[in-house]
Amino acid sequence: MNSSTASAPAPLPPCYTVPVLHKLLAPSLCLATLLLAACGGSTPTASPSPINNTPDCSSGSVDSRATCYESQMTQAQKLQLVTGDSSAGTMGGAGFIPGIPSLGIPDLNFVDGSVGVGNGLGPATALPSSIASAATWDTNEAYKYGTVIGKEMRAYGADVNLGGNVNLTAGREPRDGRTFETKGEDPLLAGAITVAHLQGIEDQHVIAGIKHFALNDQESGRTTANVIIDERAMRESDLLAFEIGVKQSGVQSVMCAYNLVNGVYSCENSHLLTDILKTSWGFPGFVMSDWWATHSTAAAANAGLDQEQPNNTYFSQLGAAISSGTVPQTRLDDMVHRILHAMIANGVIDNPPSKGTLDVAGDEAIAQEEEEQGAVLLQNNNTQLPLNAAALHNIAVIGSHADVGVLSGGGSAQVQPIGGAALSFKPLCPPCWGGQIWDPSSPLKAIQAAAPGATVSFNDGSDPTAAATLAAGADVAIVFVSNWESEGMDLPDLDFDDDPAAGISGQDALVSAVAAANPHTVVVVESGGAQIMPWLNQVNAVLEAWYPGQEGGPAIANLLFGVVNPSGKLPITFPASVSQLPRPQIPQPPDSSTPFNVNYTEGYNVGYKWFDSQNLTPLFPFGFGLSYTTFSFSNATLTNNLSGSNPNIQISFNLQNTGSVAGAEVAQVYLQMPAALNEAPRRLIGWLKVSLNPGQTQSETIEVDENTAAHPLSYWDPTSQQWQLGSGTYNVYLGDSSRNTTLVGTFQAP
Q: Which residues are catalytic?
A: 290
Burial 340-377 (b: 16+ CB within 10 A, else e): bbbbbbbbbbbbbbeeeebbeeebbebbbbbbbbbbbb
Taking alpha carbons only, the member of 75, 123, 118, 121 closest to residue 100 is 75
| DSSP 8-class letter at 554 | H
Instruction: Count Cβ atoms below 10 Å from residue 331 Cβ, excluding itself.
Output: 18
Say if CB 5 and CB 685 are below 8 A apart: no
Alpha-carbon gap, residue 42 to 379, rounded angstroms: 49
> Strand pairing partners for 526?
482
Residue type, 504: I
**Beta strands across the sheet bearing 264-265:** 264-265, 260-261, 225-228, 596-599
- Give the gyration radius of the chain's Cα atoms: 25
Burial 576-586 (b: 16+ CB within 10 A, else e): bebebbbbeeb
| DSSP 8-class letter at 50 | P
Say if CB 98 and CB 85 are below 8 A apart: yes
Secondary structure of residue 345 in the 3-state scheme: helix
- Using CA atoms, how far residue 224 sits from 166, 262, 591, 593, 678, in Å, is 20, 12, 9, 6, 32
Strands 260-261, 225-228: pairing is parallel
Taking alpha carbons only, the member of 437, 456, 440 closest to residue 448 is 456
Say if CB 133 and CB 145 are below 8 A apart: yes
Alpha-carbon gap, residue 91 to 509, rounded angstroms: 46
Kindly write down the DSSP assignment for every residue of 196-249, as one continuous string.
Answer: HHHHHHHTTT-B-EEEEETT---STTTTTEEEE--HHHHHTTHHHHHHHHHHHH
Burial of 115 (0-12, 13-18, 19+ CB in 10 A): buried
Say if CB 286 and CB 274 are below 8 A apart: no
Residue type, 273: L
Alpha-carbon gap, residue 254 to 213, rounded angstroms: 7
Taking alpha carbons only, the member of 221, 25, 171, 42 closest to residue 613 is 171
Alpha-carbon gap, residue 578 to 532, rounded angstroms: 8
Alpha-carbon gap, residue 605 to 342, rounded angstroms: 35
Instruction: Count Cβ atoms below 10 Å from residue 501 Cβ, excluding itself.
Output: 14
- Residue 3 backbone phi and psi in degrees, to 5: -95, 0
Say if CB 691 and CB 663 are below 8 A apart: yes
Say if CB 636 and CB 652 are below 8 A apart: yes
Secondary structure of residue 477 in the 3-state scheme: strand
Say if CB 526 and CB 400 are below 8 A apart: yes
Alpha-carbon gap, residue 80 to 672, rounded angstroms: 51
Cis, bond preceding 431 (omega within 30 deg of 0): yes
